[in-house]
């Protein structure tokens, strides 16, 4: 009996492109196929290939996605379709909130034309939606990076404040969640925090011993390796995305990941498997009850910061203009030649500065005073 030929599949990069073009996350695609999200991630990265019924179902689903994508492109509705939906639900799923879903209507950050009746989000609504889905997971991730609860909350708030200041740029970004995540990681790993008085003392450790051991092992890793490990094994990014977010080449990111796994396995041998490490990272991050601030507070903080720096720039400009005007007002209007140094005149003794009398001068003064008293009378003119 001859075996039927395997169903053809697109290349791994094409599989991922078709999924993202349809505004689907890996978790959503996995639920449609009845497999795990890690399995879909392995199919898209090329580490494994589906077989049997999974291969047929996967090929049929990709073909339908390709047809629907071609239809959307022909209707002109494919431009920045689902730009934020994918990243929002992806981060929410990784945080352990898989029961929450995003509406299938694509989130758009552009203003609706007057003759268009489709629902569009205002910048405030879009920012609040991004914050609601990303902030809880980002707080837990930055806690794994720093081991400090307060610094984790501060890093996430600072990243979203920066995102609100640059909202047009963030709204047009293909993955705004990645933009905010990179900003939060940069702020959390800044070496200047060690000089701040509030972060000089260590925070109370976690109550669970195994969680404390894993967090301690993470904090002993160098910051680049710790960030790479968290992005790849914690968040679930692939190697090129991890390298791009850490601003490193793909081989460098791979070396950092391998060194970090070896260091963790040396301290915690039971976490040598990547799947177990992924689960433990999620458990440790979820064990701490870390809450992010409300989006209204973050937006108000961003606006206050913007007003402060604007007023500071205006005050500095006014002070600079005032100093320039004062210098122009007090500056001389004509050339004044410098005073030449003094010259010695022939025959004139140098002028002696006053000072104490010598012994001879005191004797002469006493002698003159005595002669004035005992000498002849002075002649006084008289009227004739």
Please, which contacts does 12-19 make with residues 24 or more away whose CB atoms are closer than 8 Å? 12/43, 12/44, 12/45, 12/46, 15/43, 15/44, 15/62, 16/44, 18/62, 18/65, 18/66, 18/69, 19/44, 19/65
pLDDT tens series, the chain, 384 aa: 344 566 788 888 888 888 888 878 888 888 888 888 778 888 888 778 888 888 888 888 898 888 887 765 555 444 333 444 444 444 344 334 333 333 333 333 434 444 444 456 788 888 888 888 888 888 888 888 888 888 888 899 999 999 998 888 888 888 888 889 989 999 888 888 888 887 777 777 777 778 888 888 888 899 999 999 999 988 888 888 888 888 888 889 899 999 999 998 898 888 888 888 888 888 887 777 777 778 888 888 888 888 898 999 999 999 999 999 999 999 888 888 888 887 777 776 666 667 788 888 888 888 877 765 555 555 556 665
Q: Is residue 359 part of a domain?
A: no
**238-261 residues labelled b (16+ CB within 10 A) or e (exposed):** bbebbbebbebeeeebbebbebbb
Q: Is residue 222 part of a domain?
A: no
Retrieve residue 54's tokens.
């999974």
Q: Is residue 104 part of a domain?
A: no
Retrieve residue 346's tokens.
């022939």
Q: Which range of residues forms the domain containing residue 17?
A: 1-82
> Residue 65's pLDDT is what?
86
Q: Is residue 212 part of a domain?
A: no
Q: Is residue 67 part of a domain?
A: yes
Q: Is residue 343 part of a domain?
A: no
pTM exceeding 0.75: no
Q: How many domains does the chain have?
A: 1
Instruction: Confirm if 142 and 189 have CB atoms less than 8 A apart.
Output: no
Q: Is residue 128 part of a domain?
A: no
Angle 12-16-20 from CA coordinates, rounded to 5°: 170
């Amino acid at each position: 009996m001859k075996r039927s030929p395997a169903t053809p599949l697109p290349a791994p990069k094409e599989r991922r492109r078709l999924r993202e073009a349809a505004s689907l996350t890996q978790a959503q695609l996995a639920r449609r196929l009845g497999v795990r999200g890690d399995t879909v991630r392995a199919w898209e990265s090329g580490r494994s290939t589906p077989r049997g019924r999974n291969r047929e179902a996967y090929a049929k689903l990709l073909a339908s996605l390709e047809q629907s994508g071609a239809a959307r492109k022909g209707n002109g509705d494919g431009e920045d379709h689902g730009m934020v939906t994918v990243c929002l639900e992806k981060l929410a799923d990784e945080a352990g909130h898989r029961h929450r879903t995003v509406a299938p209507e694509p989130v758009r950050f552009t203003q609706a034309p007057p003759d268009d009746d489709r629902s569009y989000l205002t910048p405030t609504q879009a920012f609040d939606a991004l914050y609601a889905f990303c902030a809880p997971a980002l707080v837990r991730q930055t806690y794994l990076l720093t081991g400090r609860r307060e610094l984790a909350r501060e890093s996430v708030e600072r990243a979203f404040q920066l995102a609100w200041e640059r909202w047009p740029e963030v709204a047009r970004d293909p993955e705004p969640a990645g933009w905010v995540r990179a900003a939060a990681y940069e702020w959390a790993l800044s070496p200047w925090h060690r000089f701040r008085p509030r972060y000089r003392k260590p925070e109370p450790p976690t109550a669970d011993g195994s969680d404390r051991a894993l967090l301690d092992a993470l904090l002993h890793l160098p910051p680049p390796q710790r960030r790479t490990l968290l992005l790849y094994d914690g968040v679930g990014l692939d190697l090129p995305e991890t390298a791009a977010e850490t601003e490193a080449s793909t081989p460098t990111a791979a070396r950092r990941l391998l060194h970090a796994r070896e260091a963790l396995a040396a301290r915690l041998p039971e976490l040598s498997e990547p799947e177990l490490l992924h689960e433990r990272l999620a458990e440790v991050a979820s064990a701490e009850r870390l809450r992010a601030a409300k989006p209204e507070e973050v937006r108000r903080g961003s606006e206050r910061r913007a007003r402060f720096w604007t007023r500071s720039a205006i005050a500095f400009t006014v002070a600079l203009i005032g100093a320039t005007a004062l210098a122009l007002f007090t500056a001389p209007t004509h050339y004044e030649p410098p005073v030449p140094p003094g010259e010695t005149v022939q025959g004139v003794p140098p002028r002696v500065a006053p000072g104490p009398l010598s012994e001879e001068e005191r004797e002469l003064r006493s002698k003159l005073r005595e002669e004035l008293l005992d000498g002849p009378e002075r002649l006084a003119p008289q009227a004739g």
